[in-house]
Amino acid sequence: MRRSGRGAWPYLFLTPAMVLFTLFLAVPIGYTVWLATRRTKVSGLGLGRGARREVSVGFDNFSAALSDAELWHGWLRVLGYGALVLVVMLGLALLFALLLDSARVRLARFSRIAIFLPYAVPGVAATLLWGFLYLPSLSPIRDVLEIDFLGASTVTYSMANVAVWGGTGFNMLVLYTALRAIPRDLYEAARLDGASEIQIAVRVKIPMLTPAIILTTVFSIIATIQVFTEPSTLRPLTNTISSTWSPLMKVYRDAFVTGDLYSAAATSIVIAAISLVLSFGFLRVVRNRAFGEG
């Protein structure tokens, strides 16, 4: 009896987490999958009781989502946007982390706070701040640089700038924390061997940072695929951003503008599946290169 009582304690402590997981993750996902297999069928003119009823359509909504050209055009835009954001943001985060970990750095605490601070600004507020700087009638830098920040050829770079400004600090902090966990003896040994600070950074620090770099890259890929705040907030300021600029914007339009919850549910599942494929695909490629697996 005592053993059985002791064995129940772990499950008792896990119960709150399991309940929250079920209510706020498993149930919504299940409901979304159920919605994705339904459709409203209209009889006659759609008037009167029973004229509009919900019917099962199997995988028809998924087929429609996969054949939707607007969705794939949105994916192409997000892939270009993501390639720009990932390279610049993670590159700057790594550079700042290495600089802050240097023995010669000054005002390290102030610099860490200054670099991390933009991440604490809500995404909508940050996008609005940059949006006012982009507006031709308000921008103090547009006339100097002679650049239309919200033009068709530059709006993607403007949105990427907002994402880089807000996300670099978080990734820098993750990489910097990983750097602080590396034994200092490795650096001293490298210096005794005649290695410069740049050689230590390239040959010692960055290889030791590989797990943290992979982690931040995966998180950044997922966040980039789910881009919604920047284009939807800047959209009222310009006519170069469509209502389906990103896949999530298309889901929002289908669900809350056109009222087609069933199509939006199917599209959201397709987006989630593609996100999983891209994330795990990246992990698989990295693992194969690191460990030489086929």
* pLDDT above 50: residue 294: no
pLDDT of residue 170: 95
The pLDDT value given to residue 120 = 92
User: Does residue 285 have a pLDDT over 50?
Assistant: yes
Backbone phi, psi, residue 42, to 5°:
-105, 130
| Architecture field, domain 68-291 | Orthogonal Bundle (1.10)
Residue among 221, 248, 222, 220 at smallest CA distance from 235: 248
**Gyration radius of the chain's alpha carbons:** 25
For residue 280, CA distances in Å to 156, 188, 201, 276 come to 26, 37, 28, 6
pLDDT of residue 50: 60
Is residue 218 within 8 Å of 279, Cβ to Cβ?
yes
pLDDT exceeds cutoff 60 at 147: yes
Give the model confidence (pLDDT) of 25-56 as tens digits.
Answer: 999 999 999 999 998 876 665 565 665 677 78
Tell me the pTM. 0.86
Q: Are strands 38-42 and 52-56 parallel, antiparallel or unpaired?
A: antiparallel
pLDDT attached to residue 137: 80
Q: Which pLDDT belongs to residue 6?
A: 65
| Cα 268–Cα 266–Cα 218 angle in degrees, nearest 5 | 30
To the nearest whole percent, how much of the chain has pLDDT over 90?
Answer: 64
Average pLDDT across the chain, whole number:
88
User: pLDDT digits over 261-280, tens only?
Assistant: 999 999 999 999 999 998 88
Residue 104 has pLDDT above 70, yes or no: yes
Q: Give backbone dihedrals phi and psi of 147, rounded to 5 degrees, phi first.
A: -125, 130
Residue 1 confidence (pLDDT): 45
Separation CA 71–CA 205 (nearest Å): 41
Q: Could you give the CA distance from residue 128 to residue 135 in angstroms, rounded to a whole number?
A: 10
Tokens 């770079």 locate to: 157
Q: How far apart are CA 209 and CA 178, in angstroms?
A: 7
Q: If DSSP codes are grouped into helix, strand and coil, which group holds residue 149?
A: coil
- 146 pLDDT tier (thresholds 50, 70, 90): confident
Look-up of token digits 């920047």 = 230
pLDDT digits (tens, 9 = 90+) for 172-195: 999 999 999 999 898 889 888 888
Q: How many CA atoms lie within 13 A of 199 on its CB side?
A: 10
Using DSSP's 3-state secondary structure scheme, residue 55 falls into strand
Q: Could you tell me the pLDDT band of residue 94, with boundaries at 50, 70 and 90?
A: very high
Contact 90, 220 (CB under 8 A): yes
Using a 10 angstrom Cβ sphere, with 0-12 exposed, 13-18 middle and 19 or more buried, the burial of residue 290 is exposed
Q: What is the pLDDT, as a whole number, of residue 252?
A: 95
**Would you give the DSSP letter of residue 237?**
G
d(CA 55, CA 76): 33
Stretch 157-176: mean pLDDT: 95
Between 116 and 109, name the one with better pLDDT: 116
CB distance 86 to 165 below 8 Å: no
Rounded to 5°, angle at Cα 120 from 118 and 122: 95
Cα 200 from Cα 165, distance rounded (Å): 28
Reported in sequence order, the residue ranges of the chain that DSSP labels E, i.e. its strands, are 38-42, 52-56
Domain ranges of the chain: 2-58, 68-291
Q: What is the band of 156 on the pLDDT scale with cuts at 50, 70, 90?
A: very high
Residue 2 has a pLDDT of 52
pLDDT of residue 284: 85
Provide the residue count of the chain.
Answer: 294
